[in-house]
Amino acid sequence: MTPRKRTGRCATLLVTAALVTGALTGCQPLAEAASATCEDTGSRVDELKAYDVLESRPPGTIVPKGFTDLEAGCWEDSGEAWLYADRTYVFPGEKAEVIQYYRAAAEREGWKLSRSTRQALEKDPSASLCFTRGGTDDATTLDVYFLTKEILDAEETETGPEFASGFGYRVSVGATADGSPNSCSD
């Protein structure tokens, strides 16, 4: 399997947040906000890999060939470093079942559903999920999202026959490399 190429969604949000925060407060120039690197982030990546929600999955979920390992690391995009740990699964049932399962599993672990996710779920019960930790860990988010052909193509990922038996989804814990606050796109 070819290693996935990370999309710049989170990095784009982080750089945008840094620009807005710096502009509003006048406290942090963009160069400082976007200067985090992947150097010396191994222990923080290990912390992300330890979240139980990454291994938790609804009954009947399949671990597809080529996705058997927990993927974790640090990537830099647009000058911002982002830590991640994620698992990819295929579920043969309804998307709403996955959403219901992870809402309960995440909340048991202390994750808080974002306001924007709550609003999205009112319109579409199978919308992607985004949670935050808050408190002393305001740099970490949990995303549960469904894989589209566009996402898999961007990652240059080849899917096996398991994806034909249901729909693919990813459970991803992410954090800023420098420990700065992070949130869902509320």
Give, in order, the Cα–Cα distances in Å from 133 to each of 130, 137, 160, 175, 186.
10, 6, 34, 11, 14
Asked if residue 128 belongs to a domain, the reply is yes
Asked if residue 2 belongs to a domain, the reply is no
In 3D space, the residue among 61, 133, 62 whose CA is nearest the CA of residue 97 turns out to be 61
The whole-number pLDDT of residue 95 equals: 93
Asked if residue 61 belongs to a domain, the reply is yes
CB 132 within 8 A of CB 138: yes
Neighbours of 164 (CB within 10 A): 8
Average pLDDT taken over every residue of the chain: 81
Distance in angstroms (rounded) separating the CA atoms of residues 175 and 44: 9
Asked if residue 170 belongs to a domain, the reply is yes
Q: pLDDT tens digits for 92-104? A: 999 999 999 999 9
Asked if residue 13 belongs to a domain, the reply is yes
Q: Give the mean model confidence (pLDDT) for residues 53-57.
A: 96
Q: Which band of pLDDT confidence, cut at 50, 70 and 90, is reported for residue 35?
A: low
Q: Residue 159 pLDDT > 70, yes or no?
A: yes
Domain residue limits at 34:
9-176
Asked if residue 25 belongs to a domain, the reply is yes
The whole-number pLDDT of residue 181 equals: 86
How many domains are there within the chain?
1
Asked if residue 185 belongs to a domain, the reply is no
Q: Would you call 104 helix, strand, or coil by DSSP?
A: helix
Q: Which band of pLDDT confidence, cut at 50, 70 and 90, is reported for residue 51?
A: very high
Instruction: Count Cα atoms within 13 angstroms, Cβ side, for 82.
Output: 25
The more confidently predicted of residues 80 and 74 is 74
Q: Give the mean model confidence (pLDDT) for residues 54-76.
A: 94
Q: What is the pTM of this model?
A: 0.77
- Ranking 78-82, 85-89, 115-119, 154-158 by mean pLDDT, the lowest is 78-82
Asked if residue 44 belongs to a domain, the reply is yes
The more confidently predicted of residues 123 and 20 is 123
The whole-number pLDDT of residue 98 equals: 96
Q: Residue 27 pLDDT > 80, yes or no?
A: no
Q: Which parts of the chain are beta strand (E)?
A: 71-77, 80-91, 112-113, 129-134, 137-146, 167-176
Q: Which band of pLDDT confidence, cut at 50, 70 and 90, is reported for residue 137?
A: confident
- Rg over alpha carbons for the chain, rounded to the nearest Å, is 17
